[in-house]
Structure 1
Amino acid sequence: MPMIYVDRITRRIAVGNREEATHPAALKAALAEFISTLIFVFAGQGSGMAFNKITHSSFTTPSGLIAAAIAHAFGLFVAVAISANISGGHVNPAVTFGACLGGHITILRGLLYWIAQLLGSVVACLLLKFVTNGMTTTAFGLSSGLNVWNGFVMEIVLTFGLVYTVYATALDSKKGELGIIAPLAIGLIVGANILVGGAFDGASMNPAVSFGPAVVSWSWDNHWIYWAGPLIGSALAAIIYELFFMNHTHEQLPTADY
């Protein structure tokens, strides 16, 4: 029985072809992911830097968490909405990974998205450093009293909720009018998760969001958590939704419709 489930998943994974890497539509989609990720990271990281400048305190305070949750929820809502009709509005390598596992995007296009998302995050953090006259973006890290496995599992659970929401509201062909609120639902689950995990490990849920600050501040302590956790959480959400809730009896929608 487990082998049947594995086969059902692997049959949906599409590699793509070399021409796709240079196809104008794929390049436009990658550019959309770059811009959306830049906007999202600039708003999210910038809100934390602004809070620190105004209050001289960490965003892990109650008011700081609320500010971070609101900024990330609104920022992601906009970032997904403005790129949804071009690239699908992933804005997150973990979301792209989950979509690849379900066959909603090819592996080659997914790699283009990853490059664009990571570059968008780095550029956003460099811009923040410039416009704030040298303030450094803060790399994600664990709060005192937590070990790496606490943070690792936290990222798995938080990202599972995010990618499951993406599947239910954006990727499922049965979503109907629910797809209209997909950007809002995705933004809200990220904001809610920040209120839960922000005080523990920063609640990244997004390898690109963690990568940009790590590059600019050159701080890589426990950085693997913010890749392994989100990717595993995304894979679990994609596999569970694909196996138990996704209906593949109808023809899949084009990528631009996700």
Structure 2
Amino acid sequence: MSQDKPLKGVVAVVTGASRGAGKGIALALGAEGATVYVTGRSQKEGDAPLPGTVQATADGVTKAGGKGIAVIVDHADDAQVKRLFEQVKKEQGRLDILVNNATVIHDTLIEKGGFWEKPLEQVDILDVGLRSGYVASWYAAPLMVAQKRGLIAFTSSFGASCYMHGPAYGAQKVGVDKFAKDMAVDLRKHEVAAVSIWMGMLKTDRTRRVMDADAAKYAGFWDMAENPEFTGHLISRIYRDPKRMEKSGQVIIGAELALEYGMKDIDGAQPPSHRPMLGGPTQAHPAVVE
């Protein structure tokens, strides 16, 4: 692999990549030369309240230096997920990186109030966000096991530690962290790693909209936020790490991993860890009960 394109020849799937974190991760992997299957439901502008489509992200991956392949997938539909991985196997014959990022974010997520005062649909994050990550991993794992190499990464947040946006959101984050811990046990002998990465506040259209609505409340937050591409470059670094399997099963704060690897954000900033304010992850106990 060439130094400027360290992921040349690598095949990745990034779920929920029409916009936001998924889009940034896909673009970062593409910039490093990967072939990236971009999934999501937005086929045209206007399909969602925020801008972004699956094809636009795929085009961005190609423009960045990789190969973007758009696949319309509703991750609430297992049959569509199955077809996605059948397509990857048929076209590429391999899969190296899966990023489980698809998540239902309800428009009322950050509104104040008890969970019973908010729409019941907020719990859908346990379908697309938690269950969907298991299903995608279930279909991806055989491809990685067959080649004795791979990385499954979950995008998570400090909401797994502190109260953040209510119980449904928190349960989803704790859930994907546990997926990474337990999948790592099953995958270890096959040299396939699984990790969960806590991202900080992200510089996305959604974040910008929230901050613009209450500029005084969020003053200074944008400056400490991470670019969505930041997590993508961290995932690349984990995948390429000769000691990758030592990371398997861990719940990782992205900002702290960047310090370990000597990495900065794409704008040259060093994103801060929010551990002192929001708490840190609990790692898995070494006991294995089968």
TM-score by length of 2: 0.29
Bigger fraction of residues in strand: 2
- Higher RCO (CA-CA < 8 Å; seq separation 6+): 1
Bigger fraction of residues in helix: 1
